Chains A and B, each alone.
Chain A
């Protein structure tokens, strides 16, 4: 993890609050609206993603987080609005062009190419492959070296994601959690400037989550920006520099994690009052006062 406030602090221009401006944003979006029939799914006045920081997007189920991701990455078209990646306007840009610009995303429900092997899924993703050009493709010696380099890089990333042993298996044979990992690993092959992860840790076992968090934090040192949707608050608390909260399509709060996650409104609507409570106790399955082992850290006094 980075030391000091360097690499961690998000500098805000003007007042801090929903839709606030930041020094050095990598992505800026204004007036993004999307309705499905009568339902307004996303209605974001202004959002800025700080560059070279890790920003979390949280909010209740159905708040519009994934829809916002889809809109910002060209997988769905907004009814109105404009947004920029650096200085490049993105409105109307087709989804497949985004990786070339340096922006990749992953999906909540994974999309891996099941009938390719794991390693081929990885190699396919890399940018600027010489062999992709028709003429070059006819002369393997022109691209073999690059191919080899990519393979080494792919293997190195797969090892980090605990998928190395699976590299020659078809992606279709992976379990749900492993597909999630492959998708994340594949995104890194592109060496993007901005990585957008939609619930990266859902379905990933907690011990592996922990080591992945370390790798995600490290992406900052390589100059990358991370923007992710997640329900795992341990992850949000541990790695994010900034937290944006969405509810009913709008941005309702943003700020540093320690501040935002303590707001009563966020606790009420999203975190719930059982956050720090042992559910064994809350459900009455375990009786603690007196009898329980003290090191299971049972209750902090019940809030009301």
Chain B
């Protein structure tokens, strides 16, 4: 699945950054994603996984290093510019507009170019058919799993080249978690380069092409998901032996 093109779609080079002055969460992270890859990011609590996604999406100040999109420097670019450039993000919480209907939420995904709404809607509903009959429903009345679905659809409306997902399975019941992973896989199969942060590390590694294990703001391990899944060091430090059944 790893299609080799010379220039990765997303590349982080020694990124250092954080929220508070003087406190760095990311301590020199380097990683990349090639076109069409599904990349997983796992690691202990406080390792900087969500911060990494936010840095790519221009929501965390990058103090050193650079972030590139198709070889072009996008470090410090604002989120609206990034969306136009083909990056979309689905945050972990507060990822829908609760007082708007599903349809209106999806419209927000193309607010920079409303004319193409109908055309895009059709494509997105191909992936998320369940939403078709519920477009007029308020997003605030949806359950966590359904909101996740709406948030992902909204992100897809801009036809992004890269989609960033922050813990898509968080807070969902087991059957919904599995559905979420399958959904992520389906999105990725349409050709969207996908970077997914997950706490459900085992599931994440099962479906991703390559993964990075983050620890204290740097990359501690990296490799194909399937290899990390059976790597004793990774099991010991991050996966644990539970749930291996």
Contacts and interface: CB of A to CB of B under 8 A. Distances in A.
Question: Is B one of A's binding partners?
Answer: yes
Interface of A: 58-62, 108-109, 162, 173-178, 180-181, 199, 202-210, 213, 231-235, 238, 269-272, 274-276, 278-280, 282-283, 285-286, 293, 295-297
Nearest to B141: A39
Contacts of B19: 173
A178 B144 CA distance: 22
A111 B236 CA distance: 30
Contacts of B202: 206
A293 B226 contact: yes
Pick from A205, A280, A286 the residue with the most CB of B within 10 Å: A205
Interface string B182-201: 10011000000000000111
B45 A207 contact: no
A175 B203 contact: no
B64 interface: no
Interface residues of B, number: 54
Given A209-B242, A280-B226, A199 B171 contact: yes
A207 to B, nearest CB: 4
28 contacts: A60-B175, A61-B145, A61-B173, A174-B46, A177-B44, A205-B43, A206-B199, A207-B238, A207-B239, A208-B44, A210-B241, A213-B242, A231-B171, A235-B242, A238-B242, A269-B175, A270-B175, A272-B175, A272-B179, A278-B206, A279-B178, A279-B203, A280-B207, A283-B181, A285-B185, A293-B226, A296-B226, A296-B230
B61 interface: no
A280 B206 contact: yes
Contacts of B182: 274, 279, 282-283
A205 to B, nearest CB: 5
A210 B242 contact: yes
Contacts of A205: 42-45, 199, 201, 238
B21 interface: no
Contacts of A276: 245
A271 B245 CA distance: 15
A62 B241 CA distance: 30
Given A204-B45, A272-B179, A296-B226, A231 B242 contact: no
A271 B236 CA distance: 26
Given A199-B171, A231-B172, A279 B207 contact: yes
Contacts of A280: 206-207, 225-226
B223 interface: no
Contact of A285 (B43, B179, B207, B243): B207
Given A199-B171, A204-B45, A206-B201, A61 B243 contact: no
Nearest to B225: A280
A269 B145 CA distance: 14
A225 to B, nearest CB: 23
B221 interface: no
Given A173-B23, A271-B174, A207 B236 contact: yes
Interface in B134-151: 143-145
B243 A206 contact: yes
Contacts of A271: 174-175
Given A207-B44, A233-B243, 11 more contacts: A61-B172, A61-B176, A181-B45, A205-B43, A206-B243, A208-B45, A234-B243, A275-B178, A279-B207, A280-B225, A280-B226
B136 to A, nearest CB: 18
B229 interface: yes
B240 interface: yes
B24 interface: no
Pick from B170, B172, B173 the residue with the most CB of A within 10 Å: B173
Contacts of A206: 199-202, 238-240, 242-243
A169 to B, nearest CB: 9
B174 A272 contact: yes
Nearest to B178: A274
A234 B46 contact: no
A271 B179 CA distance: 11
Contacts of A235: 242
A140 B87 CA distance: 57
A279 B181 contact: yes
A181 B244 CA distance: 23
Contacts of A181: 45
